[in-house]
Amino acid sequence: MQRQTLRNSFLLLLTAAIWGTSFVAQSVGMETVNPLVFNGTRSILATVFLMIVMLIRMKKAPELRVRLRQGRRIHLTGGIVCGILLFAASTIQSYGIKYTTAGKSGFITAFYVVLVPVISMLFGKKVSRTIWLAILLAVGGLYLICINESFTINRGDLLTMVCAVFFSFHILTIDHYTDQVDGIAMSCIQFLTVSVISVILMILFVHPDFRAVRDAWLPIGYAGIFSCGIAYTLQVVAQKGIHPAVASLLMSMESCISVLAGWLILHQAMSARELAGCGLMFAAIVLADVLPAVIHQKSDLQNVEPVG
């Protein structure tokens, strides 16, 4: 059991590494293709990859086909709603990364970890003092990362903050449907939705240059197959047997990896002020993810009555 837990923890860190380095792929891809073209092509690749995964799963477990047929409506509804939100979040993020660094984009995007409980208040859920403390830390971190000495904010940083809001709604929507659907099947519909919206808009407004797409095949391929397809599948497999708080902490390491990848691959340096902001953001992520779950777990253990 301990060996399986260690293996799954490693897989979640690998997932975070793929997601973190995908910020570099996006940054490089934006130099060649339009964000709509980048998101459209990578989503098509992700859709094809997940369709292949689903076909393999249904071949090994024929009963899965029956379950999907019975839950067709809920899968379509959840996949389309999540796809619309993911399209908005990823497109805004891609436009934002044109005007900021991969590392800053990774950390600002991670602000969704704190935004999720705040938005959930709209649905009547209470927010603890620990979460409010995490919010204050995150706001302080964002200030250090984004606001310069003349009290102005970079256009890319602002767009990335907006994308974090859409990612928050995306996470809450997945949470609403997750117990009712097959995760990989809904994700396939989700990426198909992103693909359709992206293709329609890029035909209407962009007139894509397919030579540019060919030149950007490496970042598009990495973002589509590895970031969207493989990383999502790893997440689904590896979260089994791992406490949700620990799993989300491991995956939130993508923000740290995005900074490291931006520095190693793109030579994007960050100032001491920005690094301090990243430290506050990481502290907020840990506080929002881990502490509430640990307190809740201790409470559950205290309430367990002894047997006999």
pLDDT at 48: 93
pLDDT band, very low/low/confident/very high, at 306 (cuts 50, 70, 90): very low
pLDDT at 271: 78
Q: Are 221 and 18 in contact (CB under 8 A)?
A: no
Domain that holds residue 223: 2-301
Q: What average pLDDT does the structure give for the chain? A: 79
Q: Is the Cα dihedral 103, 107, 108, 109 positive or negative?
A: positive
pLDDT at 2: 62
Q: Are 21 and 29 in contact (CB under 8 A)?
A: no
pLDDT at 292: 54
pLDDT at 101 over 80: no
Q: Are 12 and 3 in contact (CB under 8 A)?
A: no
Q: What's the whole-number mean pLDDT along residues 50-54?
A: 91
Residue 55 lies in a domain: yes
Residue 297 lies in a domain: yes
Q: Are 264 and 132 in contact (CB under 8 A)?
A: no
pLDDT band, very low/low/confident/very high, at 307 (cuts 50, 70, 90): very low
How far is Cα 282 from Cα 277, in angstroms, rounded to an integer?
9
pLDDT at 10: 81
Residue 70 lies in a domain: yes
Residue 233 lies in a domain: yes
pLDDT at 300 over 70: no
- Structural domain count, the chain: 1
Q: What's the whole-number mean pLDDT along residues 169-179?
A: 80
Specify which of 34-38, 250-254, 279-283 reaches the highest per-range mean pLDDT. Answer: 34-38
How far is Cα 257 from Cα 244, in angstroms, rounded to an integer?
20
pLDDT at 304 over 50: no
Residue 85 lies in a domain: yes
pLDDT at 73 over 80: yes
Residue 65 lies in a domain: yes
Residue 33 lies in a domain: yes
Q: What's the whole-number mean pLDDT along residues 140-145?
A: 75
pLDDT at 130: 75
Q: Are 282 and 134 in contact (CB under 8 A)?
A: no
Q: What's the whole-number mean pLDDT along residues 278-294?
A: 68
pLDDT at 243 over 70: no
pLDDT at 152: 63
pLDDT at 132: 76
Residue 15 lies in a domain: yes
pLDDT at 77: 94
Share of the chain above pLDDT 70, in %: 82
Specify which of 28-42, 117-131, 233-247 reaches the highest per-range mean pLDDT. Answer: 28-42
